[in-house]
Copies of this chain bind each other. A is one copy, B any other.
C-alpha cells in the first residue's frame, strides 16, 4: 500500500490539470513544475493585455514571499491560482477608483478601494500603507503596489483573526509568533 509521497499519485492532480488555468500555468512553469520570480514576471507580463498587469521583478518577489506557504521560494499551481484570482478581482476595484484612468490611485481613492474589499483603515494607516508599499516613494499607488498592499493586509488580517479567539478585536502574541507574522507579511 502506498501513501502520498511514497509513489501514490497526488490525489489533487486530476482536478489541477482539468483547471482552465492549468495550461497557462504549465507553459510558464519551469522544468520543475514550479514558478520562480523570473517566470512569474514573464507570466504576468504576457497576460498584461490592458497594461494594468505591469509588475516589476521586485513586486513578483514580494508576491511569492507572501504566498509561498511551503517556503520553497517558488509558486506551485494553487499559489499561482490564488495570486491570479486575487489580481483579477482587485483589478476591478482598482479601476473603479482610478477615476482619471492614470493607472494610479491617491490616498483617498486607496481608502475607498480597501473599504470595498472589506478593510476599513483610518487615514494614518492609509498614509503608512502608501509609504510602506510604494516602491517608487511617490504619493500615488500603481496597481502592482496595490496588490502587494492588499496581499499583506489580507495575510495580516487572517493572522490577527486566528488569534482573536474571543472575537473582541484584540489578539495576543508571544514574541516568536509576532516576529514570524511580520517576517511573513
Q: How does the 8 Å CB contact mask read for A157-185 relative to B, with 1 for contact and 0 for none?
A: 10010001000011111111011111111
The verdict on A46 contacting chain B, using a C-beta distance below 8 Å, is no
Residues of B within 8 A of A124 (CB): 180
Question: Which of B169, B172, B178 is A175 in contact with, Cβ under 8 Å?
Answer: B169
Interface residues of A in 81-137 (CB under 8 A from B): 121-122, 124-125, 127-129, 131-132, 135, 137
Judging by beta carbons under 8 Å apart, are A183 and B132 in contact?
yes
A182 B182 Cβ-Cβ under 8 A: yes
| A173 and B171 form a contact (CB under 8 A) | yes
Q: Taking the full assembly, how many copies of this chain does it contain?
A: 2
The reply to whether A178 and B183 form a contact with Cβ atoms under 8 Å apart is no
Given A37-B137, A131-B65, A135-B58, answer yes or no on A125-B169 (Cβ-Cβ < 8 Å): no
Most B CB contacts (10 A, CB to CB) among A153, A170, A172, A175 go to A175
The contact sample of 12 A-B pairs, CB cut-off 8 A, is A58-B58, A73-B137, A125-B176, A125-B180, A129-B183, A132-B184, A156-B178, A156-B179, A170-B174, A173-B173, A181-B182, A182-B185
